[in-house]
Amino acid sequence: MIWHICFHPRLERHWWGRKYGHVSIAGYHDDTWVHIDVRRETTDVLSIYRYEDTHNYLDYLVKNTTVVRFGPAKAGVNARAFLRPMSCVIFVKHTLGIRSRALLPDGLLRDLLRDYDVEIINDTQTGGTDTGPA
């Protein structure tokens, strides 16, 4: 499965300069898009089957989040135990099967860009070009 990691921008900016306040993950498998969003209070799992709905939802993600393409994840690597407490960053690291010390979305993006072969689809923070999902 090819994963698309969606970095959601912070609603307000602070002096410490963190750009992202949340991260979620979306992937395509067997003609279905699945978007998994783990938060403190809830976990949302959205599956989309119809082509038009998938295209509209991906357009929404590309316009409102910074999207990075990763994959495929290595099988068996993500069998390590979760760190506690569960957070969006810990969940995404576990799902991708990557090694990273990041605890915040900004750190996760830095580690993905530095240590893994990822492709930036768009960057909402810098006004990067929107190439759309592939």
Domain boundaries, the chain: 2-120
Separation of first and last alpha carbons in the chain? 13
This prediction has a pTM of 0.76
For residue 106, the model assigns a pLDDT of 92
Q: What is the pLDDT of residues 11-63, one digit of tens each?
A: 776 656 678 889 999 988 777 889 999 988 888 898 888 777 877 888 888 88
Short-list 104, 94, 92, CA closest to 25: 92
List the Cα angle 72/75/76 in 5-degree steps. 150
Upstream peptide bond of 133 is cis (omega within 30 degrees of 0): no
Q: What angle is formed at CA 5 by the lines to CA 79 and CA 90, rounded to 5 degrees?
A: 40
pLDDT tens digits along 53-75: 877 888 888 888 888 888 766 55
